[in-house]
Amino acid sequence: MKPVAKSSSASNPLDADMHLRLEGIITPMAAMPGALLPILHAVQDAFGHVPPACVPLIANALNLSRAEVHGVISFYHDFRSTPPGRHVLKLCRAEACQARGARELEAQLVSRLGIGFHETTADGSITLEPVYCLGNCACAPTAMLDGTVHGRLSTERMASLLDSCGVKK
Amino acid sequence: MSVRVYVPRDTSALACGADEVAAAINAEASRRGITIELVRNGSRGLCWLEPLVEVETTEGRIGFGPVSVDTVGELFDAGFPNANSHALSLGLVEDLAWLKKQQRVCFSRNGIIDPISLEDFEAHGGWQGARRALAMRPQDIVSAVTESGLRGRGGAAFPCGIKWQTVHDQLVAQKFIVCNADEGDSGTFSDRMILEGDPYRLIEGMLIAGLACGANQGFVYLRSEYPLARQIFVQALERAREAGWLGTNVADSGRAFDIDLRIGAGAYICGEETSLLESLEGKRGQVRFKPPLPAIKGLFGQPTVINNLITLASVPDILVNGAEWYRDLGYGRSRGTLPIQLTGNIRCGGLVELGFGVSLRELLYDYGGGSASGRPIRAVQVGGPLGAYLPESQFDTLIDYEAFAAIDAMLGHGGIVVFDDTVDMTEQARFAMEFCAIESCGKCTPCRIGSRRGVEVIERLRQGVDAAANRALLESLCDTMQHGSLCALGGLTPLPVKSALAHFSEDFQPRPPA
């Protein structure tokens, strides 16, 4: 039997191409004051997540310890250390959306997707995240699908958003 | 001659289909051989009418809304752009009572101009405040802001002039102006609307702050949940730089000022000023001990003015019209105007900018038109997730920092979230604690641990377990959080919880099992 590649990206070393891309991101930004967040955003924009193998490189470039970089990654809700699903759906769980039925949408998502927040469906089609306000509070309830904000959502409209992501009915 | 048609490019308008409507209007016009000039403006803040399409006429702009893709064809059948008889026609937008009764200072240009057009900005009074400031002594600018009575619009309502004076008085070469655009409170979007609808206003306000306090570098800390605001503000920064309003020689004055845009990463706590500064420095967004105050030792250890976006956006008009003019708007010790955001279960939600002193009831019913569901309004939460829940008996409270403090509530950033009579206040109280637990920076124990225990205690109350003892425990826990937390997150989370207990105690009675 062939050996199976480890699936956890945590143990995956950076390949040469990724290493090069990463240096291309870090080097021009390293000298700016307070560079860590901008660098982490740029890495996540490029790779879809912040691969743990990047941490030593970033730490080295900014003269920080790996623990400090890890501490920042784990502090902020936006940064993820594993790749998300093909689509990312963020449901607003905050008060203005609650007042317009966000809890019903939450129940609908959990039941149809069979996952909770911060989880990805088994087929990798969709990652579900909570978000606390998208600034669309007068046209609630609101969700963001792959960066696009959708307002005045009903369960019917949410269902068609899920259909558009190829989620099984 | 082509007719000018406006379709907003604003997060709320887009969330309701404005891009699709704009495309449909273009397609339908070209199919019918009608030449139009499509302008993407910001939002006027009449959110319930979004997408609000406007047509320029000699009498003024005629509005249509809410327009959907399906109604575009019918609008053209009725003669669009001249379709005044169509059911969606609102007549002259400026004459809509909802808009006409407002006192728009910060939002005077929103929805009217093309947000990134420097020509539009200037034609509607832009840069006048900055021009004044460039001709003034720094101390005179600070004094004007002090005399205007402007207080911080982020929620703490600290007098802006005192902050500026402190930074002005620091004899240090490097100082900073930081704009807090980490607008995380649910029920608020006024910062977003300025960035998307009138971004040069913020640039002008920050430039004036820089000139007043002797700072040559500004930072805008914008939350990542606002991607469109980011996109538009990046464009505005580039254009302002090209036009010489930012850079080493601002408007040929020999003075330098520039702005760097930084993006947050989804942490609510970074709206707290010291946590924001930590985040700007590239660290975990953990709250700092005060003193030292940011005005003395702020970003990278340097004297820093850190103001909410609306505070900075209020400054240009103060310089143009004078401190007295601004101070004459308002009520009591709350001077000037507050952009109020009517949200949640409200029929006519959106942005209402008025001088302080209007009553909550007037906002909810005269502007808001009651609940969207048509059911009675039972509770409103004012001031974001850390604000109190108010019952109908308190709706006559005036929008005024002191009036709200007197009823153990707060105005915060001006967000009002409306709930109808289907709301379960135990659920809202539980969520307040849950939110605090999720967003706590972890530095102090009352907030980090107290909020988790708070969720559990409220859960037991909801289940009717040992009601009297758990209620006493919850009150005591709230007391500890309120007085023992390092910042407003842990310190104010008890506000929604205690107000729910005080005003909606019937919800906390043990209930028969379902």
Q: What is the pLDDT of residues B459-495, one digit of tens each?
A: 999 999 999 999 999 999 999 999 999 999 999 999 9
Considering only the beta carbons, identify the residue of B184, B266, B342 that sits closest to A78: B266
Chain A residues contacting B via beta carbons under 8 Å: 33-38, 40-41, 62, 68, 71-72, 75-79, 92, 94-100, 103, 131-140, 142, 144, 147-152
A96/chain B closest Cα distance in angstroms: 4
> B12 and A100 in contact by Cβ < 8 A?
no
User: Token match 């002797």: residue?
Assistant: B214
> Helix (H, G, I), strand (E, B), or coil: what is residue B182?
coil
Q: Can you tell me the mean pLDDT for B341-369? A: 98
Q: Tell me, yes or no, whether B107 lies in a domain.
A: no
Tens-place pLDDT, residues B71-108: 999 999 999 999 888 999 999 999 999 999 999 999 99
Same domain, B357 and B286: no
Q: Write b or e for each residue in B167-180: b if 16 or more Cβ atoms lie within 10 A of its Cβ, otherwise e.
A: bbebeeeebbbbbb
- Interface contact A151-B224, CB threshold 8 A: no
Q: Same structural domain for residues B179 and B265?
A: yes
Residues of B within 8 A of A63 (CB-CB) are: none
Answer yes or no: is B105 within a domain.
Answer: no
Q: How many residues does chain A have?
A: 169
Residue with tokens 């207080």: B151
What are residue B180's phi and psi, to 5 degrees?
A: -85, 100
Structure tokens at B356: 């302080």
End-to-end Cα separation, chain A, in angstroms: 37
Q: Are residues B415 and B429 in the same domain?
A: no
The reply to whether B82 falls in a domain is yes
Instruction: Examine the domain organization and report whether B138 and B281 are in the same domain.
Output: yes
Q: Out of B328, B355, B386, pick the residue that ends a domain.
A: B328
**Neighbouring-strand partners of residue B257:** B247
Using an 8 Å CB-CB cutoff, list chain B residues near A100: 344-345, 372
Chain A residues whose CB is inside 8 A of the B346 CB are 138
Are residues B160 and B291 located together in one domain of the fold?
A: yes
pLDDT of residue A112: 97
pLDDT of the residue at B93 = 97
Is residue B150 pLDDT above 90, yes or no? yes
Collapsing DSSP to helix, strand or coil, A32 comes out as coil
Domain annotation covers residue B111: no
Instruction: Specify the number of domains making up chain B.
Output: 4
The shortest CB-CB distance from B279 to any of A37, A95, A142 is to A37
Return the residue in A26, A72, A95 with the most chain B beta carbons within 10 A, the one to mutate for interface testing.
Answer: A95
Q: Which domain holds residue B221?
A: 118-328
The partner residue sitting opposite A100, judged by closest CB among B12, B15, B344, is B344
Q: Kindly give, in sequence order, each residue whose CB lies less than 8 Å from that of residue B456, ignoring residues fewer than 6 positions away.
A: none
**What distance in Å separates the CA atoms of residue B367 and residue B381, rounded to the nearest whole number?**
17
Residue A58 structure tokens: 């970033």
* Bridge partners, residue B92, by sequence: B62
Question: CB A75 to CB B284 under 8 A?
Answer: yes
The encoded tokens of residue A159 equal 């269902």
Instruction: Using a pLDDT cut of 90, give the percent of chain B over it.
Output: 98
Q: Return the residue of A nearest to B442 by Cα.
A: A75
Rounded to whole angstroms, the Cα distance separating B426 from B489 reads 20
What are φ and ψ of residue B89, in 5° steps? -70, 130
Give me the mean pLDDT over the A49-75 stretch: 97
- A41 → closest Cβ in B50, B263, B415: B263
Verify that B379 and B485 share a domain, yes or no. Answer: no
Domain locations in chain A?
Answer: 15-75, 87-164
Taking residues B184-190, what's their average pLDDT? 98
Strands B337-344 and B415-420: parallel
Q: How far apart are CA B247 and CA B256, in angstroms?
A: 6
User: What 3 state SS string does B200-267 have?
Assistant: HHHHHHHHHHHHHHCCCEEEEEECCCCHHHHHHHHHHHHHHHHCCCCECCHHHCCCCEEEEEEECCCC
Given a contact cutoff of 8 angstroms between Cβ atoms, the answer to whether B120 and B197 are in contact is: no
Distance CA B51, CA B10 (A): 9
pLDDT of residue A8: 42
The mean pLDDT of A45-66, rounded to a whole number, is 97
User: By the 8 A CB rule, do B273 and B155 touch?
Assistant: no
How would residue B34 be classed by pLDDT, with cut points 50, 70 and 90? very high
3-state secondary structure B107-142: CCCCCCCCCCCHHHHHHCCCCHHHHHHHCCCHHHHH
- Whichever domain contains B401, its CATH number is 3.10.20.600
Taking an 8 Å cut-off on Cβ atoms, the answer to whether A95 and B12 are in contact is no
Please report the pLDDT score of residue A7 as a whole number.
42
**Are B264 and B302 found together in one domain?**
yes
The span from the CA of A121 to the CA of A124, in Å, is 5
CA distance to partner chain B, nearest, from residue A136 (Å): 5
A103 vs B contacts (CB less than 8 Å): 427
Q: Average pLDDT in the B284-306 region?
A: 98
| Residues B388 and B274 grouped into a single domain | no
The pLDDT, as a whole number, for residue B514 is: 55
Same-domain status, B414 and B453: no
Chain A residues with CB under 8 Å of B369 CB are none
The answer to whether the CB atoms of B281 and A134 lie below 8 A apart is no
Q: Which two tokens stand for residue B108?
A: 């005077």
Q: Which two tokens stand for residue B242?
A: 């090209």
Q: What's the pLDDT score for residue A3?
A: 47
Q: What is the pLDDT of residues A108-151, one digit of tens each?
A: 999 999 999 999 999 999 999 999 999 999 999 999 999 999 99
Point out the residue among B186, B262, B435 whose CB comes nearest to the CB of A96.
B186
What is the number of alpha carbons within 13 Å of residue A106 lying toward its C-beta? Answer: 16
CATH number at residue B304: 3.40.50.11540
Q: Region of B105 please: left (phi>0), alpha (psi -120 to 50) or beta.
A: alpha
Output the CA–CA distances (angstroms, integers) from residue B251 to B116, B258, B357, in the order listed: 18, 12, 39
Residue A168 carries which side chain, given as an amino acid letter?
K
In this structure, the answer to whether residues B174 and B317 fall within a common structural domain is yes
Helix (H) or strand (E) holding B341: strand B337-344
**For the complex shown, is ipTM > 0.90?**
yes
Give the confidence band of A168 by pLDDT, cuts at 50, 70, 90: confident
pLDDT at B509: 86
CATH fit for domain A87-164, picks 3.40.30.10, 3.30.565.10, 2.70.160.11, 3.40.50.300: 3.40.30.10
What is the number of alpha carbons within 13 Å of residue A157 lying toward its C-beta?
A: 17
- Same domain for B303 and B213, yes or no, is yes
Residue A14 has what pLDDT? 83
B300 and B381 fall within a common domain:
no
